[in-house]
Structure 1
């Protein structure tokens, strides 16, 4: 007689074993998948040398210059050639070039002729390239450094075979240190989109950064100083962001110079002497200069000027800046005290809420000069002085409809134009 109870029990046990096996297999697959996923996600973070050690092919677009023959602390070795070979080996999707801690000398330009390239260092170094050192500091700062031959452009963005814009190039956390106060740190010769410069130290070169026809460039969190010019955006630029930097030019140069810039933002910077002008803008359109701390030894600290075609800027805001002229000296270009600490040749400028400190200016100086333009507004500014002046704000005869409010007393306003220029004075 067949024992149906025993058969039933055996079948149940087989079904339970199958389910258990299925669960175990699924668990193993899940664990393997998670491990593989973590490994894949981790690969882009590995230096190329580690990838080689683990036998992992470099498919992540990450290039450690040491793996391609770069040499630190060798003044006669041109590391630019190594970096250029890496760039030429990159595919259309570009990649990231990593510079470790060390002094990497370059005798020629690093040539970026394509889009989507990043150059990243270990850190930008904390000390000036021309400071001295002690037994507790490093000469010229620690970190990743490109030490540039005199007169050489360290990084040049140019595709000689293609006039299309180069896009998506970024630089982060290293130092460009010149050996002579000439040459250029980073130069874009052709038009570009979205060049990002973040946490760089650039010093002891002629021009720190010069970009041509730059759309949406971002220069931030950097120290660009001991240069003739710190930042130049020429040709024309749109939506430039220059924020949270420490900047300083030399007496014959300019700290920030923009040409035909639209919708720019210059804010949160610390701009210090000795440039002949801290911020000089030719034909600026709808831009903002705000919340900067600016010091200088010359007048013309902020200048809004026409471009070479006689086109004047329009619709700009100068707001909430601390502007201090200290230890006044004669201007390198012979601009006298009537030029103005702020000099405006533009339309619809709003100069509001600035603290202008003019210690050391000669008696009779001009604080704000509106040389040319229509519908400029000057309000709620504080112009503190050591020496008196009846020309704290001056409006020339080529300017109309200028309105000054809550900034100066009645006897501190000079109007050489018509009755459309008005001062609503502070109460005596």
Structure 2
């Protein structure tokens, strides 16, 4: 049964539970309806048999044998159905198997339309005139002065019982259908209430992913608590791995810095041709190492991300870049709208803005502007300068790994490529366009907290 339900509802736990509940609710209701119908029919039959017995006692009380040995009835049942011909309600009195008195509904005695209805005592069912099914009750008694036992027979039509039964069955179907729908709706509400903690769990996980929380709360039911504990442990383990990777990246950077510096110094003493070849190789190694270190240090949108206020990053970048480019006296401005909060790792945001702002400062003539504002649940960033800009056909080139349009400007050419990789990790977008200041405009779409 579980496999059958899974094949029909593989992607909805609520529908699977609803289907499983329906598989026992509907048969139980059907069985309950059948049992109620059986009990009601038994009650109707018992009630009809009681009426037939009452009429028999009434006829027996009125019966006597006169001096000539004939059966005399002082009175007859007053039920008008015994007076309507072939109504289905009959009574008879017979001596030695011969009908001597009968109700008007049985027709003329001489016609012999009915004959003796039941040859045996007790309750029987048989077909009477017009193939109408009758329920017959016969009782044999001995009256004073009679030459033999007197059979008192009373009959009633079964179709009236069947009509009552059909009406009751219609009511039962309506009631059971209503109960079934009510039960299914109640089960739907019950299942929804029971699965509500999963919705809370999804929201808390989304809050962790968006940087609004670091761990799942401990308020979940006992059945979900072990999963919550495992997720929290996974978050802590993931954070430890990130921290360890960053520490290893820092150690590797320090370990490689001095050997590369020594090699560069020694190469400077070689003849020009060999120096050019080896310098190019050293630059290539340095660029690759720098790129790998940047990738290792990038956290990405992992569990436990925090909220990063752009104003904090802006102050640090303003100070550091202002110190580096002090002689050029650049106008570096940050225009940050309220609510501009990054949902991610602080180090990643520093890497993004640091590379973009440093690149803009290298090319700017006098001004660099950074815009940040929340837009539709996302964070829109833009860095623009008043430098020479980049032609549209060359924009893809500068995004390629380690490519520089002007070798005279110092740098590894990895800045924009590193930024694009980090933005891709956060499922964002990076676009290059013309700036209103006259230079290049780099636009970013990032997750907002």
User: Structure 2 length normalisation: TM-score?
Assistant: 0.25
Q: Write 1 or 2 for the structure with the bigger share of helix.
A: 2
The structure carrying a bigger strand percent of its residues is 1
Higher RCO (Cα < 8 Å, 6 or more apart): 2
Q: Which has the larger radius of gyration?
A: 2
TM-score (norm 1): 0.26
